[in-house]
Amino acid sequence: MVRLRVGRFEVYLVEDGRFWLDGGAMFGIVPKAIWSKKSEHDDQNRIPLVIRPMLVRDGDRWVLVETGIDTKPGEKHRKIYRIEEAGRLLDALKALGLGPEDIHLVINTHLHFDHAGLNVVRTDEGLAPLFRRARYLVQRQEFFEATHPHERNRASYLSENVEPVAEAGLFELVEGEAEVLPGLRLVPLPGHTLGQQGVELVSEGERLVYTADLLPTFAHVGLPYVMAYDLYPVTTLATRKRHYPRWAEEGYRVVTPHDPRRPYAWIRRGEGGWEAYT
């Protein structure tokens, strides 16, 4: 767990677990001859990724950005995605002396299974929201997509991570930008899904952005490095062009959800295009 300070915010970057996804799907139009120099891969052509939720403390309030991955879907699902060590988020909470009931706000950047897995847990009474005392913030558009899946995104949305939260009335649907706490803003980052959002923290001159899958790892920082998983790749490109210059110029610390090596970095325009540096 990496601990950072962003002005008055205390930030914890948590490794919830690891999983592996097809390298071709992760790098879109970039040929293997190129992406294989940036990432290792296994004998099934899958590349290693971490699951990195972010905990933010603001005084006595705790905000959880993303809820990691879970083992609810079972053994076949675990094998396909080579999911390793799911659910370590709970250990991280415990290490901080926290339980799920101490989380005041959950921010779902989007509702894919590797970002919203612990929204819901299996209990003796059936499926139930894990963070019972929290509001779950998600863009209205994302909630619509997750509850109206089609053939192209159905494998990513598992209703078991969404419906119990909706039935308990814990979702708060957000439209566009929103300042949730002073200095903590939700920012729409469409492309991967239309309703994806990121989180920006600004306090006492310090800045951090959680990119969600707009930038899944720092190997993707180059503009054409867009995942084949993205439903709207050209929108991803436009969203990057809109936000990268500001994040670079204003010195945002950048946190990605899946980079296996660097929990955070900064970005800048280099001679060969956008690059990450630490």
Q: Which is nearer to Zn ion, 200 or 213 (CB)?
A: 213
Nearest alpha-carbon partner for 90 in 103, 78, 77: 103
Q: How far is CA 72 from the centre of its chain?
A: 19
Shortest distance (Å) from residue 213 CB to Zn ion:
4
Shortest distance (Å) from residue 259 CB to Zn ion:
14
Shortest distance (Å) from residue 113 CB to Zn ion:
8
Q: What amino acid is encoded at 193 in this protein?
A: T
Binding to Zn ion, residues 167-226 (CB under 5 A): 213
**Residue nearest Zn ion, CB atom distance:** 112
* Contact yes or no for 87/232 (Cβ under 8 A): no
Residue 68 DSSP code: B
* Binding-residue total with Zn ion (CB under 5 A): 2
The answer to whether the Cα torsion of 69, 70, 74, 75 is positive or negative is positive
d(CA 263, CA 225): 19
Shortest distance (Å) from residue 185 CB to Zn ion:
21
* Contact yes or no for 66/53 (Cβ under 8 A): yes
Shortest distance (Å) from residue 115 CB to Zn ion:
6
Shortest distance (Å) from residue 98 CB to Zn ion:
26
Nearest alpha-carbon partner for 92 in 19, 3, 1, 4: 1
Q: Is position 142 an interface residue for Zn ion (rule: CB under 5 A)?
A: no
Q: Which is nearer to Zn ion, 112 or 253 (CB)?
A: 112
Which residues, in sequence order, are CB contacts of 83 under 8 Å at separation 6+? Answer: 17, 18, 19, 69, 71, 77
How open is the CA angle 75-81-85, to the nearest 5 degrees? 70
d(CA 248, CA 39): 24
Contacts with Zn ion, 90-119, as mask; x by CB under 5 A? ----------------------x-------
Q: Phi/psi zone of residue 70: left (φ > 0), alpha (ψ -120 to 50 degrees), beta?
A: beta
Shortest distance (Å) from residue 49 CB to Zn ion:
11
Binding site for Zn ion (CB under 5 A): 112, 213
